[in-house]
A and B are shown apart, each in its own frame.
Chain A
Amino acid sequence: MKISAEKQKEMLWTMLLSRRFEDELVELCKVEGKIPGMTILSTGQEAVGSGACAALEPEDVIITNHRSHNHLLAKGAEPNALMAEIYCKRTGCNKGKSGTLHLAVPEVNAPCTSTVVGAGPPIAVGQAFAQQYKGEQRVTACFFGDGAAAEGSVHEAMNLAALWRLPLIFICENNVYAGAQRHEEHTPVPNLAVRAAAYAMPGETVDGNDVLAVYLAVQEARERALAGEGPSLVECKTYRCRGHGETDPQHYQPREEICSWLEKCPIPRLRDDLIARGVLTAADYQEMEGRAESIVMEAVRFAEESPYPDPEEALEDVLA
């Protein structure tokens, strides 16, 4: 395993930043009227987005889903514009049109968050096709959940991507729950990576709480895609520590199960590993925490002080 110290610290940083960002959302969404709509978090799953995005280059594209905050921050989205959009303010990255559920940040090549379950993969096919058509050295990575894997659109996308050898990485974030249904209640196979065989593409199941394992798997899939060998499926096994959304009481998730996964949190895991290996000091980590705190507080201040759009702005941006 050869991952530069810089890269490992980058992964720790984006995990930490998105955790701090979402921890703040946990509190903010309890305040009546502050965060419109749903609040859907990736707490505990940060190793997937942070590991995957660290293996991608800035010109690579990601297509994401309900639990997008970590993916987008790891891809380099600007926290102020993201927070303001979650607040549905005019200064948000989508001028208040998308809210938390449809964050689109094309400036960091994250043009689509779809919250129609299973809709991301066909769109990722189109992005990857454009990369292949133009002869670019870029790839597309598509994040989707174990629930989405039951959608027919995911089958269609995988079949077409494999048939055309598109530069596409399917990243299945298997967090055990789809809504209130456990994995075994909606899927007959324990590991979704086995489905890759049906499309003659490589499929690998990795520990989704081990950011370095995710990084290596996505890096390998990226190299394969760039070599013209087509798509890969990387299944990252992780756990949904919070509810489907913040109003979900999680009555169907055993308390002990949640606790056991909280102990497997990817952030202290990498932190302790880096400190043990002498890549990071405790002081470095404290500095990172302080930086995350000030970035998130600044994002909240920016969002709070930003105006809402004027009602008539609802009429803009329908057509080009």
Chain B
Amino acid sequence: MQKLGMGQAVNQALREEMHRDPNVFLAGEGVGVSIHLNPMFPTHGLLEEFGPGRIKDTPVSEAAIAGLAVGAAEAGLRPVVEIMFNPFFTLASDMIVNHAAKLRYLSGGKSAFPLVVRMKSGAGIGAGCQHSHNLEAWVAHCPGLKVVMPATSADAKGLLKSAIRDDNPVIFIEHMGLYFAPMPVPVDEYTTPIGQAEVKRPGTDVTVVTWSGMLGVAMAAAEKLAQEDVQVEIVDLRTLVPLDKETILASVAKTGRLVILHEATRTGGFGGEVAAVVMEEGFHHLKAPLRRVTGPDIPVPASPPLERFYIPGDEQLVAAIKEIL
């Protein structure tokens, strides 16, 4: 086992897949020469290793970056492109929503679009709402896209390798807060399947379904509650689309209680989808109403106390769980 931040794990996945498949190339703003001369960042050192033919620094042109991915993927390459921050997705969204997601369907299945769009997301960096905005529900709402949001370095590496090998467009969202926290990552070659959630902590009393940066909050809350003899089961979705309903429903069947935890804002958040699945298919298991713990319906503010108020914390999760115990 090695210990890597998520950025380093992503870096290893990119490096390994580029060695494995000459059709894989990277493009984006600063994926080669970056303003961050920091080995914890995902594309650090790749330009030196693979050269400017495969590590393509682009102009500040999100539509062209995403269009590059769509066109090159149809032509048989495996582009991995970076949209620097999740909120800048809006500038690339026509290419992703109207083209990456739809062109295979429009071709009647003749064409494939094996591309990965990596985006950094998450609050906690004091950068405010135009750099910190979790838009996973937007992309999850577009049929034709897969949506992956790892919470650990090991999952990030294994899932990114799967995403690059997948014949469909995959939106791969990395939480910036996880770049700098070393976590164990297997040394040997492995992939992690897209579409499988994982029980990150087994428990019997209540299920917490979460993903991405909120896994740590869920783990902290579970530790606190364990001292009060409440056993929390934590389901890390890892992939939002396709959604692993089985793992969610099996956990709810076991515990009979559900709290959904996500950093994104509440209204129209993906937690609503998880809730709907459980209400439709697992209602009879519920011993109490489910709860959502989410960011409030506000843009992410910059001031530290305001931003801390925005990000859901373990105390909020503990309180929500106690409400339904």
Q: Which residues of A pack against B, CB within 8 Å?
A: 61, 63, 92-98, 102, 104, 106-107, 111-112, 114, 116, 119, 121-131, 133-134, 140, 152-153, 156-157, 159-160, 163-164, 316-320
The reply to whether B67 and A112 form a contact with Cβ atoms under 8 Å apart is: no
Could you say which of A92, A111, A126 has the most chain B C-beta atoms within 10 Å of its C-beta? A126
Segment with Cβ contacts to A, from B71-79, B208-216, B264-272, B276-284:
B71-79
- Is the Cβ of A320 less than 8 Å from the Cβ of B107? no
Residues of B within 8 A of A63 (CB): 71
Contact A125 B67 (CB under 8 A): yes
Closest 9 pairs (CB-CB, A-B): A126-B71, A122-B67, A130-B75, A317-B109, A95-B108, A320-B167, A156-B64, A94-B108, A156-B61
Chain A residues within an 8 Å CB radius of B224:
none
Distance, CA A171 to CA B53, complexed state (A): 27
- Can you list 10 A-B pairs with a CB-CB distance of less than 8 A? A97-B108, A114-B98, A116-B99, A121-B67, A134-B76, A140-B71, A156-B61, A160-B59, A317-B104, A318-B104
Interface size grouping (class) on chain B:
35 or more
Answer whether residue B63 sits at the interface, using C-beta atoms and an 8 A cutoff.
Answer: yes
Report A-chain residues with C-beta under 8 Å of the C-beta of B63: 122, 152-153, 156-157
Cβ of B64: which chain A residues have Cβ within 8 Å of it?
122, 125, 153, 156-157, 159-160
A89 CB to nearest chain B CB (Å):
12
Q: How far is the CB of A147 from chain B (nearest CB, A)?
A: 16
Partner of A316, one of B61, B76, B109: B109
B residues 35-54 in Cβ contact with A at 8 Å: 53
Q: B74 contacts which of A111, A134, A160, A316 (Cβ < 8 Å)?
A: A111
Q: Say yes or no: B94 contacts A133, CB within 8 Å.
A: no
Alpha-carbon gap, A102 to B105, bound state (A):
10
B284 CB → nearest A CB, Å:
28
**B187 on the interface (CB 8 Å rule)?**
no
- In the complex, are the beta carbons of B73 and A126 less than 8 A apart? yes
A125 adjacent to B59 (CB under 8 Å): no
Contact present for A112 and B72 (CB under 8 Å): no
Q: Is B68 an interface residue (CB 8 A)?
A: yes
Assess whether A122 is in contact with B144, with CB atoms less than 8 Å apart: no
Complex-state Cα separation, A96 to B58, whole angstroms: 37
Known contacts A122-B95, A126-B79, A320-B168: does B107 contact A133 (CB below 8 Å)? no
Is the beta-carbon distance between B107 and A111 smaller than 8 angstroms? yes
Beyond the given pairs A318-B105, A320-B114, 15 more chain A to chain B contacts, judged by CB atoms under 8 angstroms and listed by A's residue number, are: A97-B108, A102-B106, A111-B107, A116-B94, A122-B64, A123-B67, A124-B67, A125-B68, A126-B67, A127-B74, A129-B71, A156-B63, A157-B64, A317-B104, A318-B144
CA distance A234 to B147 in the complex (A): 39
The answer to whether A122 touches B72, judged by C-beta atoms less than 8 angstroms apart, is no
Cβ contacts under 8 Å, B61 to chain A? 156, 159-160
Residue among B94, B113, B167 making CB contact with A119, cutoff 8 Å = B94
Interchain CA distance A122-B98 in the complex, whole Å: 13
Min CB distance A112 to B, Å, is 6
Q: With a CB–CB cut-off of 8 A, which chain A residues contact B62? A: 156
Q: Report Cα–Cα, A94/B103, bound state, in Å.
A: 11
Q: Which residue of A lies closest to B27 (CB)?
A: A129
Cα–Cα distance between A291 and B242 once the two chains are bound (Å): 50
Q: Which of B67, B98, B105, B114 has the most CB of A within 10 A?
A: B67
- Interchain CB contact (< 8 A) of B98 among A119, A121, A131: A119
CA distance A262 to B98 in the complex (A): 36
Q: Which of A98, A116, A140 contacts B108 (CB 8 A)?
A: A98
Chain A residues with CB under 8 Å of B129's CB are none
